[in-house]
Amino acid sequence: MIDVDDLIALVRNYNPRTNEELIRKAYAYGQRMHEGQFRRSGEPYFTHPVAVAAILTEMQLDDSTIVTALLHDTIEDTKSTFSEISRRFSPEVAELVDGVTKLTNLQLSSSETKQAENFRKLFMAMSKDLRVILVKLADRLHNMRTIKSMPHEKQVQKARETMDIFAPLAGRMGMQWMREELEDLAFRVLNPEARNSIIRRFISLQKESGDVIQKITNDIRTELDKQGIVADVFGRAKKPYSIWRKMQEKEQSFSRLSDIYGFRIITRDDHDCYRVLGAIHQRWRAVPGRFKDYISQPKSNGYRSIHTTVSGRDGKRVEVQIRTREMNDVAEAGVAAHWSYRDGIRVENPFAVDPAKWLASLTERFDSAEDHDEFLEHVKLEMYSDQVFCFTPKGEVVKLPRGATPLDYAYAIHTRIGHSCVGAKVDGIRVPLWTRLKNGQSVEIITAEGQRPQATWLDIVVTGRAKAAIRKSLREEDRERFIKLGKELARVAFEHIGKRATEKALTTAARQLSLGTSEDLLARLGSAELTAREVVETLYPELATIDDTIDEKRAVVGLSPDQTFKRAMCCQPVPGERIVGIGYRGQGVVIHAIDCAALAEFEDQTNRWVDLQWHSGKHPASNTVSLDLTISNDAGVLGRICTLIGEQKANISDLQFIDRKPDFYRVIVDVELSDIEHLHTVMLALEADSDVASISRHRDLGRKP
Confirm if 392 and 419 have CB atoms less than 8 A apart: no
627/614 Cα distance (integer angstroms): 22
264/214 Cα distance (integer angstroms): 13
Confirm if 387 and 399 have CB atoms less than 8 A apart: yes
Q: Rounded to whole angstroms, what are the CA distances from 152 to 43, 190, 427, 442, 508?
A: 19, 10, 52, 50, 40
| DSSP E strand boundaries for 325-426 | 341-342, 345-346, 387-391, 397-401, 421-426
Q: Which residues partner with 579 through β-bridges?
A: 593
Q: Which of 123, 135, 116, 161 is nearest to 26 (CA)?
A: 135
The count of C-alpha atoms lying within 13 angstroms of the C-alpha of 194, restricted to the half-sphere facing its C-beta, is 25
Backbone angles phi, psi at 593, to 5 degrees: -65, 145
Sequence letter at residue 655: L
What is the four-CA torsion angle of 279, 283, 284, 290, rounded to 10 degrees? 10
Length of the chain: 705
Q: Are strands 613-614 and 556-557 parallel, antiparallel or unpaired?
A: antiparallel
Confirm if 491 and 505 have CB atoms less than 8 A apart: no
387/374 Cα distance (integer angstroms): 21
Confirm if 596 and 579 have CB atoms less than 8 A apart: no
Confirm if 437 and 411 have CB atoms less than 8 A apart: no
Which residues in 494-513 are b (16+ Cβ under 10 Å) and which e? Answer: bebeeeebeeebbeebbeee
Backbone angles phi, psi at 46, to 5 degrees: -65, -15
Confirm if 484 and 428 have CB atoms less than 8 A apart: no
573/623 Cα distance (integer angstroms): 8
The secondary structure of residue 578, as a DSSP letter, is -
30/33 Cα distance (integer angstroms): 5
Confirm if 386 and 401 have CB atoms less than 8 A apart: yes
Residues with active-site annotation: 76-77
The DSSP element (H or E) to which 547 belongs, if any, is none
At residue 606, the 3 state secondary structure works out as helix
528/587 Cα distance (integer angstroms): 27
SS3 per-residue string spanning 308-346: EEEECHHHCEEEEEEEEHHHHHHHHHHHHHHHCEECCEE
Residue 621: burial class (beta carbons within 10 Å; 0-12, 13-18, 19+): middle
Cβ neighbours, 10 Å, residue 346: 13
Backbone angles phi, psi at 633, to 5 degrees: -90, 70
- Mention every residue, 6+ apart, whose C-beta is less than 8 A from residue 79: 33
What is the four-CA torsion angle of 364, 301, 246, 255, rounded to 10 degrees? 170
